[in-house]
Chains A and B, each alone.
Chain A
Amino acid sequence: MLQIKNLHVSIKGKEILKGVNLDINKGEVHAIMGPNGTGKSTLASVIAGKELFEVTEGSITYNGKDLLAMPIEDRAREGIFIGFQYPVEIPGVSITNFMKTALEEIRLYRGLPPLTELEFRKLMKEKAKIVELTEKLSNRSVNEGFSGGEKKRNEIFQMAMLEPSLSILDETDSGLDIDALRIVANGVNQLKSPDNATVVITHYQRLLDYIVPDFVHVLFDGKIVKSGPKELALELEHRGYDWIKEEYEQNLQ
């Protein structure tokens, strides 16, 4: 589904990603971990299409297409969803209007007929239930004045609405209380199918207890320096990153 090959990314002349390789297939769940500031969010942003980041080398192929050549909105229409670490507040734009516009455009792109007002409202209700988002929230402006946890739930709600085939969730667990974490994780699991794939970026094993990954990757110094089964996350939780760093430095020498 997604192939990242030797991806190098710079921002303002500073190289952040220094040759990332990653293959993601249908039905898989990947976890990306790694110390702060190593480029996890950068990777998600490049997949989303943020123009600030400059790809200096390498490629990303999505369902056989050159992802890097696609405009931001087409990536979403092709089924990519990013749950942001820091969702943006948009005063004056209601969640309802936002989702209506997004769905209309995505459906048009996919050759599907537009939803009727009734169908749309039903869908909103149904999906809000998945993340236990109150209906009151959907009349409010996107993320404006939302608590940290509400913002994250709202991201998953949008994911549920847009039914992506590849979801990349960047620290969706941070800022969630224990119940909310379970709710969000359950939401993600409900949306999982053999046809779609999920990438979770996280610092904690906690989330991975609920969303069980098939692969765990460690991003360090702009590269994926180690990959392994779900047990790797447990090991990281116990041992921290020092041993990864040491291994990596030894390999360099």
Chain B
Amino acid sequence: MTPFTQYIKDLYSNIKEQLPGSGNNAVSEIREKGLLELVERDFRTYRKENKAIFEKHIACASGMKPQLTPPPYRPVEEYFHCKVKDFDTRMCIFLNGWYVHTGNPLCVEDNGIIVGSLFEALRQYPKLVFQYLMAENSSREDSLSAINRALFNDGLFVYIPDNVIVEKPIQLISLTDSPNELLLNNRNLIIVGKNARVSFIQCDDSIQFKPSFINNVTKIYLDENADFSYYKMENKNPESLLFNEVDVEQKGHSHFYSNAMTFNTGYLRNKINVFLKEPFAATKMYGLYLVDKKQHVDNQIFIDHQVTDCESYQLYKGIVDDEAVANFLGHVVVRQDSQRTVASQTNRNITLTDNARVTSKPFLEIYADDVKCNHGTTVGQLDEEAMYYLRTRGICEVNARRLLMLAFANEIAEFIQIDSLKARYKEMIRKRLNGELTICDQCVLHCPHLGM
């Protein structure tokens, strides 16, 4: 057994009585199963496929601990401001793994929407929540998912009943603010009913720049004709490890849209698994990473076309500077007889230095014959011809480069469907590519020097 697995095992036996839901047998069963699975897996795949990542970015979390009691309540305004202007969202905040509230951990609205703490939802609506919590684990789970199941603290629970259109996006903000090196496992559960629609924004932010290991899992269930938009962004310090797994199950005619933007992170892994389980479900995924210094971002996508007539589309782009590392792994499976599948996957990268490293692995696995699938990846520099053309109009090299990078990156921002968020992203992209955001190593989303 690797020392890290051993460490998690010991940690679990030491704290299991203190973990939320410890009196609940079903919860304990989930945890025990998770632990067994971890011991069995023991990061074997990681160690085989990418030993360096395991050693450098996972095993180093030995010694980190969860925060076992909720932090005392403080008004959120005291420590966090969302910097997106005119961004009207329902904010749900998790501080060091705990849901922040003023006495009401679960909000139930007249139209049936439920938003709040997962454990509170489990207490109030055991039947509803268990059915999803106990659901078979997806084939894509790995050692980290297993750790999450063993140790999960709390998480956000969202339930949108059939036919409810939610106008205000739900924003989940996970903050770390602790003098200790935290190991956090949150588990979010989102259930979207038939014909319902909602947007969801997940932000991860550090307030204190301590090393941390955050391993979150979000399970999303989309019923028939549901429409779900998922935005992911983060502002983490260089010493942070952030693992973010999203599993989406889609029923017929449902739509899943995602847009993941990475501007500042330490080590980040965004993993999205989509299971298209009934015909005419569609999924569209966009991603942009602008990484520099020693940042590391992995985007791992798995799309499972289990039935006929589904569509999936991926467009991920990245600009990788300095010694940063970006990996894109896109895996699309078209199962036998999943006829009339349409799948498209594109990953484009620009490297700005010789030391920037990009690995792009598209992988289409097709077992049906009537399908339209394509994929393309590029890793390269900026278009020399375009640079030349811009310069012949009096634009210096630096600005020509900026114009081209901006154009490259903005393409992804254009797909954002919330105007205020789009404006903010574009502003961030511009500042980032102008070099304004690199002035201060650690503040991106809320750097006071920028007057934002």
Give me the interface of A with B, judged by CB distance under 8 Å. 48-51, 71-73, 75-77, 81-82, 84, 87-93, 97-99, 101-103, 105-106, 109, 141-142, 158, 162
Against A, the Cβ 8 Å flags (1 = close, 0 = not) of B384-414 are 0110111111111101100110111011000
Instruction: Give the distance in Å from the alpha carbon of A84 to the alpha carbon of B397 in the complex.
Output: 19
Report how far A106 CA is from B394 CA in the complex, Å.
6
Interface residues of B (CB under 8 A from A): 383, 385-386, 388-397, 399-400, 403-404, 406-408, 410-411
Beyond A73-B391, A99-B393, list 13 extra A-B contacts (CB 8 Å): A71-B391, A72-B388, A72-B392, A73-B392, A73-B400, A82-B392, A90-B390, A98-B390, A101-B399, A102-B393, A102-B395, A109-B394, A158-B393
**Residues in B neighbouring A98, C-beta threshold 8 A:** 390, 393, 395, 403
- A49 lies within 8 A of B392 (CB): yes
CB closest chain-A residue, reference B407: A92
Measured in the bound complex, the distance between the Cα atoms of B385 and A99 in whole Å is: 18
- Number of A-B contacts defined by CB within 8 Å: 78
Question: B394 contacts which chain A residues (CB < 8 A)?
Answer: 73, 76-77, 102-103, 105-106, 109, 162
Q: List 8 A-B contacts (CB under 8 A).
A: A48-B392, A73-B397, A84-B389, A90-B389, A91-B411, A92-B408, A92-B411, A93-B404
Q: Please determine whether B393 and A91 come into contact, CB atoms closer than 8 angstroms.
A: no
Q: Which A residues lie within 8 Å of B385 (CB)?
A: 88
Task: Give the complex CA separation of A20 and B29 in angstroms.
Answer: 86
A73-B395 contact given A90-B389, A98-B390, CB 8 Å threshold: yes
Chain B's closest residue to A105 (CB) is B394
Contact indicator A88/B391 (Cβ below 8 Å): no
Complex Cα–Cα for A202 and B407 (A): 34
Residue of A nearest to B393 (CB): A102
A75 proximity list for chain B (CB < 8 A): 392
The smallest C-beta distance from A242 to any residue of chain B, in angstroms, reads: 35
Q: Which of B391, B404, B406 contacts A72 (CB 8 A)?
A: B391
- Cβ contact within 8 Å between B403 and A73: no
- Nearest first, the 5 closest Cβ-Cβ pairs linking A and B are A92-B407, A76-B394, A88-B389, A72-B391, A102-B393
- Cα–Cα distance between A48 and B383 once the two chains are bound (Å): 18
Q: Which residues of A contact B383 (CB under 8 A)?
A: 88, 90
CA distance A71 to B394 in the complex (A): 10
- B residues near A87, Cβ cutoff 8 Å: 389
Q: Smallest CB–CB gap between B395 and chain A, Å?
A: 5
A77 and B395 alpha carbons, distance in the complex (Å): 9
B403 touches A101 (CB 8 A): yes
